């Protein structure tokens, strides 16, 4: 007897042109991932009938929903199409800014050791998170919600386009600037871009006819060794700042993330033991008029 195991789990995707509709001859693309929780679920509701025997007479299934997350180790080129979905925009001369254009994907989970496949349509990126920490690979996740799902013993495409082969980014190369100045005492950057997606519901259908976005809400935390009052005073005085960091060598197969306008909402610096004190500063990204976005990703190609 064979059971499905994570070591044989595959994940593929293809952009949709019509929400919830897989292209008729889908050329699926493998997606590198560290975990996946994409699943079909349903609401349910019980009958409230009263019976002399105290029993429940019925339960019905409600609206279908698709949701879950895809974890990854961030590498060059691999996630560019899904970054478009997260920012509601398209790459323009290797620059991606937050926009207003919805992107939809069909995702397929392959349980290769038991030859079973789950297809999830109308998937949209509800949340993008990224974590940059010392002595570690850069990690993140895409949180998805979608329209519908089906399962079968046949994949959508027998000849899958392979993933990229670029190594995941580490944190030993690249640069970090805060407020326009290179800073060497940063111990971590985490951010989350939330799109506030909401699946609509209508009578006569158990699937959503549309998923509508909310605001582009980028929040995060910068942590640094506490060596002076420069950053702490930005919180105390409500001083606006900016955050920019580059993953890679900056000249080939790299990305620069610019959060051009932030306000810090805290500056915790607790002490525990004799080690260095770290100041943790959560931030809120705001719309910046000069770049016309709250986040800008610049892609630096190379051989």
Distance CA(293)–CA(159), nearest Å, equals: 38
Residue 293 lies in a domain: yes
Rounded to whole angstroms, the Cα distance separating 195 from 214 reads: 6
Write out the E strands in 17-76.
29-30, 35-36, 39-46, 59-73
pTM: 0.91
Token reading at 88: 């509601």
Summarize pLDDT for 214-273 with one digit per residue, the tens: 999 999 999 988 888 888 899 999 999 999 999 998 899 999 999 999 999 998 888 888
Question: CA-based diameter of the chain, in Å?
Answer: 76
Residue 284 within any structural domain of the chain: yes
- Asked whether residue 145 is domain-assigned, the answer is yes
Condensed to tens digits (0 to 9), the pLDDT of residues 125-151 reads 999 999 998 888 999 999 999 998 899
For strands 116-132 and 139-146, give the pairing.
antiparallel
In tens digits, the chain (303 residues) has pLDDT values of: 678 777 889 999 999 999 999 999 999 999 999 999 999 887 777 889 888 888 888 888 777 788 999 999 999 999 999 999 999 999 999 999 999 999 999 999 999 888 899 999 999 999 999 999 888 899 999 999 999 889 999 999 888 999 999 999 987 766 788 888 877 678 889 999 999 998 877 766 777 778 889 999 999 999 988 888 888 899 999 999 999 999 998 899 999 999 999 999 998 888 888 888 888 999 999 999 999 999 999 999 976
Has residue 13 been placed in a domain? yes
Provide the number of structural domains found in the chain. 1
Determine the structural domain holding residue 109 and report its residue range.
Answer: 8-44+60-300
Residue 1 counted as domain residue: no
Is 3 inside a domain boundary?
no
106: burial class by Cβ within 10 Å (0-12, 13-18, 19+)? Answer: buried
Asked if the structure places residue 246 within a domain, the reply is yes
44 closest CA partner among 14, 65, 72: 65
């Amino acid at each position: 007897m064979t059971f499905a195991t994570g070591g044989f789990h595959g994940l593929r995707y293809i952009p949709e042109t019509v929400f919830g509709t897989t292209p008729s001859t889908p050329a699926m693309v493998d997606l590198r991932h560290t975990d996946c929780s994409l699943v079909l679920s349903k609401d349910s509701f019980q009958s409230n009938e009263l019976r002399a025997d105290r029993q429940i007479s019925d339960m019905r299934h409600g609206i279908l929903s698709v949701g879950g997350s895809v974890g990854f180790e961030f590498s060059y080129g691999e996630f560019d199409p899904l970054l478009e979905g997260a920012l509601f925009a398209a790459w323009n001369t290797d620059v991606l800014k937050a926009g207003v254009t919805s992107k939809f994907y069909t995702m397929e989970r392959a349980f290769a050791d038991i030859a079973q496949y789950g297809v999830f349509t109308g998937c949209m990126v509800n949340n993008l998170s990224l974590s940059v920490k010392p002595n570690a690979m850069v990690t993140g996740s895409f949180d998805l919600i979608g329209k519908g799902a089906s399962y079968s013993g046949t994949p959508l495409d027998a000849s899958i386009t392979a993933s990229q082969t670029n190594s995941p980014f580490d944190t030993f190369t690249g640069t970090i600037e805060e407020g326009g100045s290179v800073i060497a005492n940063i111990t971590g950057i985490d951010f989350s871009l939330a799109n506030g997606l909401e699946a609509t519901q209508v009578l006569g259908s158990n699937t959503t006819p549309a998923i509508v976005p909310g605001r582009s809400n980028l929040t995060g935390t910068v942590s640094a060794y506490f060596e002076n009052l420069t950053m702490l005073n930005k919180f105390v005085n409500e001083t606006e700042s900016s955050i920019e960091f580059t993953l890679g060598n900056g000249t080939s197969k790299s990305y620069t993330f610019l959060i051009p306008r932030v306000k810090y909402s805290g500056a915790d610096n607790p002490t525990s033991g004799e080690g260095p004190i770290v100041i943790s500063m959560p931030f809120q990204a705001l719309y910046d008029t000069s770049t016309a976005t709250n986040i800008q990703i610049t892609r630096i190609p190379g051989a």
